[in-house]
Amino acid sequence: MRLSSRLVSHTDLTGEITALNVIEVPRQISLRDLQSGQGGSEIKEERRSKQRALMNVAMEFTDKEDVIVNPRVVYSRDKVQTIYNTTAQPDGVDFLIMGWQGHLNPAKIFYSGVKSLIRNAPCSVGVLKSRGLKKFSRCLVPYRGSKHALWAVEVAQRLVAENDKSEIVVLRVIDEESDTDAEYELAKSELGQLADASQVQIKVVNAEHPVDGILEESQSREYDLILMGASEEWVLKNLLFGSIPDVVADRTDTSVLMVRHYDESVARRINQNGENSP
């Protein structure tokens, strides 16, 4: 919630957070009865408990962060479909943020509802693997020039917007034979105005593999958060955001936010393959 409130406070998004909690209801229990207040006492108590908890969080963040938090607890047969339907409503959702627990192994990813939403949600998507994330003073953004990596830099700037002492390290990992100065100038050119921000520092390092360079950099300093843009592999079903983002998120001890910017052309391609909804 803290991450969402920071993004909404310093962005041109709608200025409102919907904190959605979906309670999946077994087939043997009637949704109509639950909605009318009949039966399902345990499930109704669960909903009341979650509503109270979300309301307390909403009030806290509304007071402290000056953002509007809309807490919603809903009944559903299918949690993933309900979240997708929420993002696909006419008034729209700009940025869907979800969490990930445990390891990022291919089998878990393949059958994950989170993966389904990354592929199909008609908006930008972020997945946070938190390891005690509390602040955003120092962010590391591995960057290889994709639109998703560029979006990761933009998200990092929104997170640190009002902190004069904050730092965003845009990291470009190259092989031993590449020209460091040329890669630096290329990254600076691709970043455009984003590179002019006082918090942004472009760093080029050599490594045998991008993952090695990213992990070594993340271990060399106390970063609060690593932001990883999706690679072109994110559409594959056994990868969450791509091989490099997935491996980094799994191996590092730092919190990682992986992001996928909305791409209408890719969305059309997925739609043509009959995968336009979970």
Please give the average pLDDT of every successive group of 10 residues along the chain, which has 278 residues.
Answer: 63 69 85 70 81 80 72 89 92 89 91 92 94 91 93 91 82 94 95 90 95 96 95 83 95 96 75 60
| Residue-level pLDDT at 13 | 47
| Residue-level pLDDT at 214 | 98
Q: Which domains does the chain have, with CATH numbers?
A: 78-272 (3.40.50.12370)
Residues 17 and 168: beta-carbon distance below 8 Å: no
In one-letter notation, the amino acid at residue 109 is I
Residues 209 and 241: beta-carbon distance below 8 Å: no
User: Which uninterrupted H or E stretch holds 278?
Assistant: none
Contacts of 159 (CB under 8 A, 6+ apart): 3, 6, 7, 10, 136, 139, 225
| Residue-level pLDDT at 8 | 61
Tokens in use for 89?
């409503």
